[in-house]
Amino acid sequence: MTGNVHLKRSRGNIDDAANAALLVSVFIGVWQIVFMLGIWPQISLPSPAMVAQTFAKITLNGSLPQSVGITLARLLGAFGVSITLGTLIGFTMIKFKGFGKTLNSFSAGLLSFPSIAWVPFSILLIGFDEFGIMFVVVMSSIFSIMISTYSSIRNIPTIYIDAAKNMGAQGVSLFRHVTIPAATPSLIIGLRQAWSFAWHAIIGAEILMSIVGLGHILSVGREFLDMSQVIASMITIFAIGLLVDRFVLQKLEDKIRKKWGLDNHR
């Protein structure tokens, strides 16, 4: 039985990979055809090969890897702050009900607040530096963490809490051994959402505020009319966002959902 499941899973993976490859080929094919039709001058729309060339160039001269490194370092730092603070505020919201309810409504409003709109505020408050960029990222993702912490804990099935109390759990140990693990599947969903907000925010902030990073090489491409570099940067941004979501966060979510028995299809 286990063998079958494995076979099915690896078959599914191969199918997924084949579909992805097909989609990418079609996209590149259409792009190549549009390029050959000559609707836009080469400077506005380079061919896939030209972009690949630029991609190789900025990879080999180190500017792309360096930018990716800087962007990810900033992001991880800011996201770490966001998770830590957001979770703590979320816990406080649970502890003080009235406060929690009010803050929840405000946070929901700030959730849809465009991240780029924090940039002028951050520049004037903090400045054109690492902390200014990180501030934008934190403000763009923290509300998502707060809301998800708050609602995840509130939505824990009462039966888990009842069962735990029935077996003598209370206070800190109830919180640590039942509340947190019971809320985990839904906390992960919040984490994924916050990650996507943070990713939007860092690129936006870097375009406007930074002299290094992925967002920066994107805007350098624009300034030097180098569309190849613009597209190469965009592809990198897309790929990193996809890889982290798919191969880190989604994997984690799937694993947890399976273990928690939330996936009916096996």
Nearest 5°: the CA angle 78, 83, 89 is 120
Q: Is 159 in the site for other proteins (CB under 8 A)?
A: yes
Stretch that binds other proteins, among 2-10, 114-122, 129-137, 161-169 (CB under 8 A): 161-169
176 touches other proteins by CB under 8 A: no
Question: Is residue 253 a contact partner of residue 192, using CB atoms and an 8 Å limit?
Answer: yes
Instruction: Tell me how far apart the alpha carbons of residues 156 and 140 are, in angstroms, rounded to a whole number.
Output: 26
CB of 92 closer than 8 Å to CB of 99: yes
Q: Could you tell me how many residues of this chain bind other proteins (CB under 8 A)?
A: 20
Q: Which stretch binds other proteins (CB under 8 A): 81-89, 104-112, 164-172, 188-196?
A: 164-172
User: Torsions phi, psi of 203, nearest 5?
Assistant: -65, -45
Give the C-alpha distances (Å, rounded to integers) separating 248 from 36, 192, 203, 251: 38, 10, 20, 5
Q: From the CB of 110, what's the least distance to other proteins, in Å?
A: 31
Cβ atoms of 88 and 150 within 8 Å: the answer is: no
Cβ atoms of 159 and 150 within 8 Å: the answer is no
Among 39, 109, 168, 223, binds other proteins (CB under 8 A): 168
35 DSSP assignment:
H
Q: How far is the CB of 149 from other proteins (least distance, A)?
A: 17
- 223 to 262, contacts with other proteins by CB under 8 A? 258-261
Q: Does 101 bind other proteins (CB under 8 A)?
A: no
CB of 181 to other proteins, least distance (A): 4
Stretch that binds other proteins, among 16-24, 49-57, 91-99, 181-189 (CB under 8 A): 181-189
Provide the minimum distance between the beta carbon of 92 and other proteins in the complex, in angstroms, as a whole number: 24
Q: Does the CA dihedral 60-62-68-72 come out positive or negative?
A: positive
The total of other beta-carbon atoms located within 10 Å of residue 234's CB is 15
**Which member of 13, 19, 61, 173 binds other proteins (CB under 8 A)?**
173
Question: Considering beta carbons, is residue 77 or 181 the nearer one to other proteins?
Answer: 181
Residue with tokens 């735990």: 164
Q: Scan residues 1-20 and list those touching other proteins (CB under 8 A).
A: none
Binding of residue 166 to other proteins (CB under 8 A): yes
Tokens of 36: 């050959």
Task: Catalog residues that contact other proteins under the rule CB under 8 A.
Answer: 159-160, 162-169, 173, 177-178, 181-182, 184, 258-261
